[in-house]
Amino acid sequence: MQIEHWDYHQQGELSESSLRALLEGRGYRVQKYVYPPGTYFPDHVHDVDKIDAVLAGRFEINLSGESVVLEAGDMVAVPKGTVHSATVVENESVISLDAVREKT
């Protein structure tokens, strides 16, 4: 699992519009979600490549037997067909940009 971190020196201040522009520039359709504390997504797969990107809060991702906690500015690629789960950790909602590569 490879985590990409927002680079303030190169990319400037993290914002919804700047993160959205980065993901859309890579060919992804982006949707914003807010997940309250206690939200849990059990193991599942998608039939498209996607990126989970965090704007605020802490989001634990379990992907192919590895676990990581994403924080503001962190992104992880989730290849299509990969089993993964996710949990909002702590008592703060997660604001996430869910980026999905269009099927071709």
Per-residue pLDDT band for 102 (boundaries 50, 70, 90) equals confident
CA atoms of 62 and 18, how far apart (whole Å): 26
By percentage, how much of the chain surpasses pLDDT 90? 92
More confident residue, 1 or 15: 15
pLDDT at position 104 is 54
Given a cut of 60, whether residue 19 has pLDDT beyond it is yes
Find the Cα–Cα–Cα–Cα dihedral 101, 79, 97, 33, rounded to 10°.
100
pTM of the model: 0.91
Catalogue all structural domains in the chain, each as residue range(s) with its CATH number: 3-101 (2.60.120.10)
Given a cut of 90, whether residue 44 has pLDDT beyond it is yes
Given a cut of 60, whether residue 82 has pLDDT beyond it is yes
